[in-house]
Structure 1
Amino acid sequence: MRSLTERNTDAVEEMDRSDCDPAKLRRTYEQFWLINTVVSGWRRNYVTYLRPNFDADRVNTLLDIGSGGGDVPRMLARWARRDGLQLEITGIDPDERAHAFASSQTPIPGLAFRQAFSSELVEEGRTYDVVISNHVLHHLTDEQFRSLLADSEQLGSRLSLHSDIERSRWGYALFSAGTLPFFPGSFIRRDGLTSIRRSYTADELAAAAPPGWNCVQHRPWQNLLMHSPPGTKP
């Protein structure tokens, strides 16, 4: 294995391969809710960053780019409903396998999934109060990274928040040890370790982002890249 000193952008996650084991892929989607609940910090993100951008007296909108199995938007929909907020969520993913899985789950009012790229929504002139992604940035090439952030600036009228893993030796060691007894029959552990090797440090992410984007580091292993248009809530 290469050192964690630099990003290993040559490493490929198994679930990104078109010919990966479909049974393991489905099991991975089924287990995402647990790993995201434990390590992704979305309850904190919702309370601290998302909820302040929603209003109680109108229908709010949120776009999840690269929604995968759909567990994150499902969590957000439940929390918003519990808080008495009207929130319509759209989850998009260009991978037909992810879209098929997310769409096959029990429907939740106000949550819809679509197989699409963010650029398609820009072309359609769509906008949302909040745009998010979860663990997407490290998958992207430099060009895709810049395009996603440019699309987010067009699509997010109040806030764009992209959450990703931070690369670190101790984070790699903790994830490796903590997931060893769990997640049988899926790509969770193997792809999670690959994700860490592909991911940015906070300094790298801040340097890669264009002007107007703010990188916030949340220990133990999360980086948030955020953008708010001028004149909107911080």
Structure 2
Amino acid sequence: MTIDLSTRATDLVELMDDPHADLGMLERTYDRFRLVNAAVARPGLLLRDVLPRARQGAVRVLDVGSGGGDVSRMIARRVRREGLVAEVTALDADDRAVRWASANDGGAGVRYRRALVADLVAAGERFDVVYSNHVLHHLTDTERREMLDDTRRLVLPGGVVVHRDIARSRAAYRLFDVGTAVLASTFLRGSFIRIDGLLSIRRSYTPRELRAVAPPGWTVRGALPARLELRWEEPVD
């Protein structure tokens, strides 16, 4: 069957977003995201924004839609290895994700919270670095606009907002399909990663599409493998 990748398939719903999803499969998905994200999402690139700021003093970092929290833990551990100080908060609206991440912190020292970005705005919280990974494609147009506005409000002077996601393309779909098919009966067995990953690509933006909906002041960058970055930096007064 030929998959239509000419436009975003916004009607598709990922299995792990179902509030009644099998808990065992969901937790195996969180567990395996650590290695999948390391290979596909290149989360270490976020350290380019975190480490220079941390060298100037203690920083506050917010991970929006943190899921199993693997990116938050990677950042917290790397900052500590550098002898620097960071308060890393992993934020998710799904209690299942927050519970699993909290139970699997492994000494990283991340703060896990169940809340919405708007809740933090209302509480007057501010951060040096605000980021998300694989969140944008889940959002409706209204949710995306609210998310960008809210995350921008959370940033301190000199801070940055970075929303990283998949770039939709035939090559990205084909590579993920072939690559995960090999692991479907072993490493990915009993998780949602293969099915939801393919759905995610179909829901995701192309660079041109994301630039078309990005508000003024936001920039869109593309990178390999099949990555998008939507970025906003707070000017220093």
**TM-score, normalized by the shorter chain, greater than 0.5:** yes
Render the CA deviation track for 1:70-93: whole Å, top value 9, x for unaligned. Answer: 100001111111222101100110
Q: Contact 2:77–2:108 at 8 Å: present in 1 too?
A: no
What does residue 23 of structure 1 align with?
24
Moved over 2 A (4+): 49-52, 55-58, 106-110
Asked if the contact 1:2–1:8 (Cα under 8 Å) also holds between the matched residues in 2, the reply is: no
Match of residue 225, structure 1, among 210, 230, 237: 230
Match of 1:207 in 2: 212
Report the CA distance between 1:22 and its aligned residue: 1.2
Give the distance between the partners of 2:109 and 2:129, measured in 1 at CA: 15
In the alignment, what sits opposite 2:11?
10
| Matching of residues 58-137 of structure 1 within 5 Å | 58-137=57-136
Compute the displacement of 1:156 (Å). Answer: 1.6
String of CA shifts for 1:93-119, please: whole Å, max 9, x gaps.
000111111111145354100000000
Q: Which residue of the partner structure matches residue 143 of structure 1?
A: 142
The one-letter amino acid paired with 1:105 is N
Whole-Å Cα distance in 2 between the matches of residues 55 and 79 of structure 1?
11
Which residue in 2 is equivalent to 1:46?
A: 47
**What corresponds to 1:189 in structure 2?**
194
Counterpart of 2:174, as a letter, is A
- Please say if residues 92 and 113 of structure 1, whose CA atoms lie closer than 8 Å, have aligned partners that are also in contact: yes
Provide the rounded CA distance (Å) in 1 between the counterparts of 2:102 and 2:80: 20
119-128 vs 20-29, which deviates more?
20-29
> Which consecutive unaligned segments of at least 5 residues does structure 1 have?
none
Query: How does the TM-score come out when normalised to structure 1?
Result: 0.94
* Offset of residue 161 of structure 1: 0.3
Is there any run of 5+ residues in structure 2 with no aligned partner, and where?
Answer: none
> Equivalents in 1 of 2:105, 2:176: separation in Å?
30
Number of aligned residue pairs: 230
Structure 1 156/202 Cα, relative in aligned 2: closer, same or farther at 3 Å? Answer: same
Cα shift at 1:50: 3.0
CA distance in 2, matches of 1:230, 1:189: 40
Change (3 A) 1:72 1:218: same
Answer with 188-197 or 81-90: which moved more: 81-90
CA separation of 1:170 and 1:231: change in aligned 2, threshold 3 A = same
The alpha-carbon deviation at position 2 of structure 1 amounts to: 4.6
Is residue 74–residue 111 contact of structure 1 (8 Å, CA) maintained in 2? yes
CA contact (8 A) 1:165 1:221 kept: yes
